[in-house]
Structures are given as C-alpha cells and as structure tokens.
Amino acid sequence: MNFASKKPEESELALNVIALTDVAFLIIIFFMFSTHFTRTQLRSMDLPRQTGDTPAETALPVIIEIDADGLLSLAGSGRSDLPTILAAAQGRASPTAPASQTLPDLVIRADRNTPALHLNELASQLSAAGIRGWKLATNSGG
C-alpha cells in the first residue's frame, strides 16, 4: 500500500504581475506622448484665450514677455531693458545668413489683461528697429 501522502501543493502566493506591468507601460507611453513639458524659462502668464496656430517646429524663438503691469522682459535672460530686447530681436538674423533663410520667430507673450498701450509701444519700437513680423502667444485652452 502506498501510504505516501500526496505532496501538498506549494501554496506560494505569487502575484501575476505581467498584466500590471503591461498596464504600467501603457500608462508610461501615454504620458510620454501626451505630456507637454513646461517651458520653465517662461513666466506663468494668463495669455489671451484664442485658438491661434500651432507653433512651427523651427529654431528657438525670441520671446518677449509683457506682464499685466506692462513690464517688458526677454524670456530666459532676465533682462528687461529695451535696448537688450531689441538687440535680441534684431539678432535673430545672422549677418552672413542668406536672405532666404527662415528667421526664428519673434513671439510676444502678453498677459491678456495688459493694456494694449504696452503692446503698441513695443510694436512701435520693433517697427522703428526694422522688425516686421511677430507672433502673439495665445492659450488655446480657453
């Protein structure tokens, strides 16, 4: 007679982590593709809420910020004096670059509640400096 007792099944508590791993990877991929990384050099600003165009993937733009009080600053540099700002805007064009070369964009980020007086003054200065094209940043979420 075989009295050998049946070997008890190993009751090892094993979590099935394969499905968990799959889901975690899917979430990571979702965040990788849907994330818009904050441009930390830019100030937090309540931009005008209009649809606007999606920015072109060109060279890094020169960004001029106008806060709600009308104070100008050059994004990323901390400089707020007008000559420096205008020089940066003019400096987008390299003297040796061909005329057909696409210039980096000049983007104005202005708080939506800023009086247009400050935008007009900046536009006048840019125009006087021979700068013609610019773009107004908007917040498409509005």
Partner 1 sequence: MLPLVALLDVIFFLLFYFMAAGTLTPPENELPATLATEQVGAGSSSSDFTSQVIYVERASTGAAGPVQYRIGQRTMSTRSELDAVLSSLPKPPGIVIRAANDVTVAAVAEALDAARLGGFSKISYVSGR
As measured in angstroms, the least distance from the Cβ of 105 to partner 1 is 7
User: Is 68 in contact with 118 (CB distance < 8 Å)?
Assistant: no
Q: Give the integer Cα–Cα distance in Å for 55 and 64.
A: 15
Does position 47 interact with partner 1 (CB under 8 A)? The reply is yes
* Positions in 66-105 near partner 1 (CB under 8 A): 66, 105
Does position 59 interact with partner 1 (CB under 8 A)? The reply is no
- Strands 62-66 and 72-74 come out as antiparallel
Q: Give the integer Cα–Cα distance in Å for 112 and 106.
A: 18
Q: Binding residues for partner 1, per CB under 8 A?
A: 14, 17, 20-21, 24-25, 27-28, 31-32, 34-38, 47-55, 66, 105, 107, 109-117, 119-121, 123-124, 126-127, 131-141
